[in-house]
């Protein structure tokens, strides 16, 4: 049993396990963006692989650094998704918004916490293009359509400490660790070749009849920068970087301009090379770090 220590009432949490990508550095960028934009809840706790070396300047910015317990279920995985189910069990907050690390907060979202305080669970079910248009494409979601799964995005999920969520994340853990069995029995039409947190979480919600906590309109939302979700036409089938086609600029005032459009809200940049040392330095100068 993990000995959870509650540090605050509200906070953000992400898992940052290094692979061929320095996810701890990426989480540092996320933490800086929270400090720069959030008026009431600028706190980010980070779950890391035991023994991970954390730079001193990272330690000053992360609200809490937690070594992921109960073995490393993602040790042989490139995408490092297999420990996501542990987020509920290790978060040091009573109320948590769990995030993917490769995000930047460009606006204050304090209002979210007030809207969420009376519900145990809310999972993002609506994402947007860089034009701020609601994404309707099923390009990456054929498994959801075929198996009638709730259209959720595990990259952003709110939960509080409750029996409801203990049961949900227990179920997600069981699905994660027994993916072959669950995918064979529960996904009768199409299924991903490998475990994904999106499908795993959607399946857990469906099996527990929790679908009502991810119905539209979604309180949580973000700009999702996968290229095939931008309502572009005639771009082929390759999963190319959106940066090949869109100019982007990050100002000293921490404004992100993509294709001449100022971005707001939460920006899920997806391609990890977006977070340059120059952007990190701009955040550090702005925050006086």
pLDDT digits (tens, 9 = 90+) for 90-103: 999 999 999 999 99
Q: Is the separation of the CB atoms in 25 and 47 below 8 Å?
A: no
Q: Is the separation of the CB atoms in 46 and 16 below 8 Å?
A: yes
For 117-165, the pLDDT digits (tens) are: 989 999 999 999 999 999 988 888 889 899 999 999 999 999 999 999 9
For 221-274, the pLDDT digits (tens) are: 999 998 777 777 766 666 678 888 889 999 999 999 999 999 999 999 988 889
> Which residues, other chains included, contact 59 with Cβ-Cβ below 8 Å and sequence gap of 6+?
65
For 60-116, the pLDDT digits (tens) are: 999 999 999 888 666 776 667 878 999 999 999 999 999 999 999 999 999 999 999
Query: Considering the entire predicted model, what is its pTM?
Result: 0.95
Task: Flag the least confident range among 52-66, 166-180, 217-231.
Answer: 217-231
- Position 209 scores a pLDDT of 93
CATH architecture of 8-287: Alpha-Beta Complex (3.90)
Selection from 223, 219, 189 nearest residue 203 by Cα: 189
> Which residues, other chains included, contact 284 with Cβ-Cβ below 8 Å and sequence gap of 6+?
32
Among residues of the chain, what percentage have pLDDT more than 70?
93
User: What average pLDDT does the structure give for the chain?
Assistant: 91
């Amino acid at each position: 049993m993990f000995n959870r220590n509650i540090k605050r009432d509200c906070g953000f949490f992400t898992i940052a396990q290094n692979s061929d990508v320095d996810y701890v550095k990426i989480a540092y960028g996320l933490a800086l963006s929270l400090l720069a934009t959030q008026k009431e809840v600028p706190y980010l706790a980070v779950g890391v692989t035991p023994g991970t070396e954390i730079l001193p300047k990272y330690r000053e910015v992360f609200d809490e650094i937690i070594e992921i317990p109960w073995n490393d279920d993602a040790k042989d995985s490139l995408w490092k998704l297999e420990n996501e189910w542990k987020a509920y069990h290790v978060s040091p907050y009573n109320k948590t918004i769990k995030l993917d690390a490769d995000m930047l907060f460009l606006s204050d979202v304090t209002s979210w916490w007030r809207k969420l305080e009376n519900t145990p669970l809310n999972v993002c079910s609506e994402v947007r293009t860089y034009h701020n248009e609601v994404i309707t494409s099923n390009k990456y979601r054929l498994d959801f359509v075929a198996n009638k799964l709730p259209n959720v995005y595990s990259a952003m999920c709110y939960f509080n400490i409750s029996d409801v969520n203990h049961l949900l994340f227990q179920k997600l853990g069981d699905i994660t660790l027994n993916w072959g069995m669950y995918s064979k029995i529960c996904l009768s039409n199409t299924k991903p070749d490998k475990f994904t947190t999106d499908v795993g979480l959607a399946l857990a919600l469906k099996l527990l009849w929790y679908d009502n906590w991810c119905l539209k309109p979604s309180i949580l939302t973000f700009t999702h920068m996968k290229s095939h979700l931008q309502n572009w036409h005639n771009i082929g089938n390759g999963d190319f970087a959106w940066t090949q086609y869109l100019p982007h600029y990050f100002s000293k005032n921490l404004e992100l301009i993509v294709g001449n459009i100022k971005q707001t809200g939460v920006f899920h940049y997806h391609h990890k090379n977006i977070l340059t040392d120059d952007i990190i330095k701009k955040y550090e100068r702005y925050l006086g770090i």
